[in-house]
């Protein structure tokens, strides 16, 4: 059964629960999205870095909006699970342009977005979130707005007051319409517990090697765990290993863990 978009949006929202956190291995193109979906993922989230790299741009508000939206639409069309799109800072210079981006995301069929503050003043992301919320509401869309706070990821401000600043931003963003808060750069139990204890909406943590397991993060109150650009980085590392081996020893052992050609080809052909 193909879910209608309102059903898909409701499903995506319902997946955010600490009892079984939404685990997202972020995709960057149709093939990665299909592989991740076939592995049992209940939803697909894109990685803005992976998307930008695959399209020849660096991450960080460089990729043109129309190129990003076309990629989102292709991913949505390729999978049957809900899709959340990472839209960096919103692909716009101000809140009005971010509203245009959100209209495009909704037209592409995504049911969620990640939007980040980066080094912008928090009030700027608050305005962007409010514009995004208004745009989704006017369209009658139950869009899940995940607000990313980069205080820890980018080492912003004084380390001694970073947690307090993060919570201040989180409350501001929730008041502006955010449905979830994403704090990458934090995996230690004490800080995670402090965040979940003070944030009223689902908390998203970015995980990688050395981080607590998904269930452990759920026990701390985390509702969503994502890998960010980590999967794309691992994929490009596989390409580098193969190339270095080929150009160095002239051997091919690094290809032994590849997905079988018929399996991958069938996954892609099945999305039409």
| CA–CA separation, 272 and 270 (whole Å) | 6
What is the pTM assigned to this prediction? 0.96
Nearest C-alpha neighbor of 131 from the set 115, 119, 111, 118:
115
Collapsing DSSP to helix, strand or coil, 257 comes out as coil
Tell me the CATH class for 5-228: alpha beta
Show pLDDT as tens, one digit a residue, over the chain (272 residues): 345 577 999 999 999 999 999 999 999 999 999 999 999 999 999 999 999 999 999 999 999 999 999 999 999 999 999 999 999 999 999 999 999 999 999 999 999 999 999 999 999 999 999 999 999 999 999 999 999 999 999 999 899 999 999 999 999 999 999 999 999 999 999 999 999 999 999 999 999 999 999 999 999 999 999 999 999 999 999 999 999 999 999 999 999 999 999 999 999 987 55
Phi, psi of 180 (to 5 degrees): -150, 160
Rg (CA), the chain: 19
Query: Within 13 Å and on the Cβ side, how many CA atoms surround 250?
Result: 0
Cβ atoms of 75 and 29 within 8 Å: the answer is: yes
Instruction: Provide the β-strand partners of residue 145.
Output: 113
| CA–CA separation, 50 and 177 (whole Å) | 27
């Amino acid at each position: 059964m193909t879910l209608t978009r309102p059903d898909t949006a409701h499903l995506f929202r319902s997946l955010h629960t600490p009892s079984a956190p939404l685990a997202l291995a972020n995709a960057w193109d149709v093939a990665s999205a299909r592989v991740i979906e076939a592995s049992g993922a209940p939803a697909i989230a894109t990685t803005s870095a992976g998307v930008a790299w695959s399209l020849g741009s660096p991450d960080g508000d460089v990729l043109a909006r129309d190129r990003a939206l076309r990629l989102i639409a292709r991913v949505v069309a390729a999978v049957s699970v809900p899709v959340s799109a990472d839209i960096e800072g919103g692909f716009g210079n101000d809140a009005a342009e971010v509203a245009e981006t959100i209209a495009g995301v909704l037209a592409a069929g995504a049911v969620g977005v990640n939007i980040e503050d980066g080094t912008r003043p928090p009030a700027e992301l608050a305005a962007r979130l409010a514009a995004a919320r208004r745009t989704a509401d006017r369209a009658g869309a139950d869009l899940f707005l995940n607000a990313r706070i980069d205080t820890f990821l980018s080492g912003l401000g004084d380390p001694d007051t970073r947690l307090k600043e993060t919570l201040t931003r989180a409350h501001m963003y929730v008041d502006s319409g955010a449905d979830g808060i994403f704090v990458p750069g934090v995996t230690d139990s004490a800080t995670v517990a402090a965040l979940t204890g003070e944030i009223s909406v689902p908390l998203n943590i970015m995980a990688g090697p050395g981080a607590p397991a998904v269930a452990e993060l759920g026990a701390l109150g985390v509702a969503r765990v994502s890998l960010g650009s980590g999967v794309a980085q691992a994929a490009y590392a596989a390409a580098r290993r193969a190339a270095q081996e080929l150009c160095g020893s002239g051997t091919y052992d690094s290809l032994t863990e590849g997905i079988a050609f018929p399996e991958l080809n069938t996954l892609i052909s099945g999305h039409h």
